[in-house]
Amino acid sequence: MNHNTKDTHNLFSQYLSEQNLRMTTQRELILKTFCKQKKHVTAEQLYEVLKKVDPTIGHATVYRTMKLLTEAGIARELNFGEGSVRYEPDTSKEHHDHLVCVKCGENIEFLDEEIENLQKRVVTKYGYELVDHSLNLYGICPKCQKS
């Protein structure tokens, strides 16, 4: 289940005060707008959406805030090798990996417990301590296979 807006707002407030940072109207707006997005967005895309609500909002503020949301565990960075980072809500309850169509960009979220476990096995085999992982599968979606 997803965090609702109030959940993430509380989470963010708490994170900010822990770090002696402040909740601002811009940060509230960015959080709210980010949580509404249905797709994985880049900071630039989110900035475009935000400008319609608050035309005075700054470019840098969006980047800065997405970084904060990531540190707070509310957003997660995705790198599909496109040249820019995408963000998705990160509720830590629902980790998943991605299957991306290289033609149209459509992407499916999946979670394979077996793969997750095997990853841990690899990491411990080499004496490493697992911090994170990134698994992206690239393919051609059924729709694009027909054209």
Partner DNA sequence: TTGATATTGATAATGAGTTTCATTCGCTGT
Partner DNA sequence: ACAGCGAATGAAACTCATTATCAATATCAA
- 104 versus 118: smaller Cβ distance to Zn ion: 104
Q: In whole angstroms, how close is the CB of 138 to a second copy at the nearest point?
A: 4
User: What is the phi/psi pair of residue 121, to 5°?
Assistant: -65, -45
Give the dihedral of Cα atoms 102, 49, 47, 75; nearest 10 deg. Answer: -70
Helix (H) / strand (E) element for 76: namely strand 75-78
Rg (CA), the chain: 17
Q: Which residue has the tokens 């709210």?
A: 32
Interacting positions 51-110 with DNA (CB under 7 A): 54, 56-61, 63-65, 67, 83-85
- List interacting residues with Zn ion (CB under 5 A): 101, 103-104, 106, 141, 144
The two structure tokens encoding residue 1: 């289940």
Contact partner at residue 115 from Zn ion, a second copy, Mn ion, none, CB < 5 to 8 Å by partner kind: a second copy
Contact partner at residue 141 from Zn ion, DNA, Mn ion, none, CB < 5 to 8 Å by partner kind: Zn ion
- List interacting residues with Mn ion (CB under 5 A): 88, 109
- 6 versus 121: smaller Cβ distance to DNA: 6
Q: In whole angstroms, how close is the CB of 99 to DNA at the nearest point?
A: 21
DSSP 5: H
Q: In whole angstroms, how close is the CB of 138 to DNA at the nearest point?
A: 17
DSSP 90: -
